């Protein structure tokens, strides 16, 4: 499997305004355009490894060399994950070295082995007698269908390649873990639209919060006004509005027969928060998903939100939570706005 690396051509220079302010000002969402990013949080880097032919890939969020506190909030009910216990407030390690988001369903968790080997070769990890043990929590999306090849799955080589590719300029759209992502599958995969990777950041004084989302949802993705941006397409044109369709007793398509879905998020901040406070930040990211992906957290979604602290700025947790909501909402929106269609599945960036 050949792994290509997607890189953003333009530098993402500074944290942006809050989500609501951005929506009011009508900011542009052209793929590749300069914009805020999770890497506006100092010490955070993002790398993609992409298998375009197989329509899969993985995305790694690297922390500072000494690691970072991390908490995870599981919102979906069809989760595929690894090392989530390391994100619990009472866990021994107390920090993680990276967070991996990957395609390939449960097969894709093997990519975390490559991230661990990359970390170990650089002496990064939880120190024990004789060496280090890198702590790399990971979560997956289901992208084995409908795009690409069922047997295309990220493995250790792609995990290591994503680390090699880690930079501050974050590519968005159909790259990395978002390569095979789709959204709006309530009426079946044939009515879906293209999803992908999106990122954004928000600032309040000295506090910066960034988010990166891999959008592969069962539900529709909405804009700030509640209008459908990308979702289940109605037979006669326009959108079916999945939540209303299902609430009226509409029969879901084949998508409910398997966990073909999941939206994954990493929220990072330069605020000095412990793991208990980061739990609230992760839940705020989950609130953002509920606002922007409708329905979300279903029985066939494996939604997970990771929250990490990579700084030493003093700030109340409630401030960070509000900035996390804003950054996550915009990251989800960018994930569909930047995605180009393929294999008969249309995208907003076409």
Dump pLDDT digits (tens) for 266-307: 999 999 999 999 999 999 999 999 999 999 988 888 899 999
For the chain, give percent helix, strand, coil, nearest 5.
Answer: 25, 25, 45
pLDDT in tens, 25-78: 333 444 444 589 999 999 999 999 999 999 999 999 999 999 999 999 998 888
Q: Which strands make up the sheet holding 70-74, listed edge to edge?
A: 70-74, 304-313, 262-271, 207-216, 197-204
Q: What percent of the chain has pLDDT above 90?
A: 78
User: Is residue 312 exposed (0-12), middle (13-18) or buried (19+ Cβ within 10 Å)?
Assistant: exposed
Mean pLDDT of 17-32: 40
* Inter-residue contact 223 to 348 (CB < 8 Å): no
Residue 20 has pLDDT above 60, yes or no: no
**CA triplet 230, 184, 213: central angle to 5 degrees?**
70
Instruction: Report which DSSP code applies to 157.
Output: H
CA dist 216 and 289 (Å) reads 12
Residue 22 has pLDDT above 60, yes or no: no
CA dist 85 and 245 (Å) reads 37
* Inter-residue contact 212 to 61 (CB < 8 Å): yes
Biggest CA pair distance of the chain: 65
- Residue at 117 is within a domain: yes
Neighbouring C-beta atoms of residue 167, cutoff 10 Å: 15
Residue 168 has pLDDT above 80, yes or no: yes
Most confident range (mean pLDDT) of 238-242, 245-249, 264-268 is 264-268
- Residue at 153 is within a domain: yes
- Residue at 13 is within a domain: no
Mean pLDDT of 194-199: 98
Residue 120 — pLDDT band, cuts 50, 70, 90?
very high
Which two structure tokens, joined as six digits, stand for 76?
């979906």
Matching residue, tokens 């939570």:
321
**Count of domains forming the chain:** 1
Residue 254 — pLDDT band, cuts 50, 70, 90?
low
Matching residue, tokens 């609501």:
20
Helical spans, DSSP H, in 190-348: 242-247, 275-292, 317-337
- Residue at 192 is within a domain: yes
Residue 207 has φ and ψ, to the nearest 5°, of -90, 130
Residue 340 has pLDDT above 50, yes or no: yes
- Residue at 2 is within a domain: no
Looking at residue 283, its pLDDT comes to: 98
CATH number for the domain that contains residue 64: 3.60.70.12
* Inter-residue contact 183 to 192 (CB < 8 Å): yes
Looking at residue 23, its pLDDT comes to: 37
Q: Which of 16-30, 65-79, 126-140 has the lowest mean pLDDT?
A: 16-30
- Residue at 164 is within a domain: yes
Looking at residue 34, its pLDDT comes to: 55
- Residue at 348 is within a domain: no
Residue 265 has pLDDT above 50, yes or no: yes
209 forms beta bridges with: 202, 269
End-to-end CA gap in the chain: 26
Residue 140 has pLDDT above 90, yes or no: yes
* Inter-residue contact 300 to 255 (CB < 8 Å): yes
Looking at residue 300, its pLDDT comes to: 81
Mean pLDDT of 134-149: 94
Which two structure tokens, joined as six digits, stand for 174?
């159909």
Residues spanned by the domain of 130? 19-337
Q: What does pTM read for this prediction?
A: 0.89
Mean predicted lDDT score pLDDT of the chain: 89
Looking at residue 15, its pLDDT comes to: 43
């Amino acid at each position: 499997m050949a792994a290509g690396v997607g890189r953003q051509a333009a530098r993402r220079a500074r944290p942006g305004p809050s989500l609501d302010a951005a929506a009011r000002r009508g900011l542009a969402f052209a793929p590749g355009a300069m914009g805020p990013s999770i890497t506006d949080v100092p010490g955070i880097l993002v790398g993609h490894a992409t298998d375009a032919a197989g329509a899969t890939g993985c995305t790694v969020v690297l922390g500072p060399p000494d690691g970072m506190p991390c908490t995870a909030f599981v919102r979906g009910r069809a989760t595929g994950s690894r090392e989530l216990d390391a994100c619990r407030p009472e866990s021994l390690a107390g920090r993680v070295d990276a967070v991996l988001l990957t395609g390939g369903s449960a097969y894709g968790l093997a990519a975390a082995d490559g991230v661990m080997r990359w970390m170990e070769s650089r002496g990064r990890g939880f120190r024990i007698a004789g060496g280090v043990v890198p702590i790399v929590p990971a979560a997956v999306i289901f992208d084995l269908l409908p795009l690409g090849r069922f047997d295309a799955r990220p493995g250790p080589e792609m995990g290591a390649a994503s680390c090699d590719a880690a930079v501050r300029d974050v590519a968005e759209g159909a790259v990395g873990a978002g390569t095979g992502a789709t959204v709006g599958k309530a009426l079946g995969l044939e009515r879906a639209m293209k999803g992908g990777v999106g990122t954004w950041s928000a600032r309040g004084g000295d506090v910066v919060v960034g988010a990166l989302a891999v959008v592969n949802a069962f539900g529709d993705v909405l804009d700030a006004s509640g209008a459908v941006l990308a979702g289940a397409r109605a037979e006669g044109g326009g959108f079916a509005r999945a939540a209303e369709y299902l609430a009226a007793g509409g029969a879901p398509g084949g998508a409910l027969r398997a966990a073909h879905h999941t939206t994954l998020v990493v929220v990072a901040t330069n605020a000095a928060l412990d793991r208990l406070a980061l739990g609230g930040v992760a839940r705020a990211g989950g609130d953002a998903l509920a606002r922007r992906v409708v329905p979300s957290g279903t029985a066939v979604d494996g939604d997970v939100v990771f929250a990490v602290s990579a700084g030493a700025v003093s700030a109340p947790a409630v401030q960070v939570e509000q900035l996390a909501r804003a950054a996550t909402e915009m990251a989800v929106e960018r994930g569909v706005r930047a995605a180009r269609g393929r294999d008969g599945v249309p995208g907003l960036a076409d």
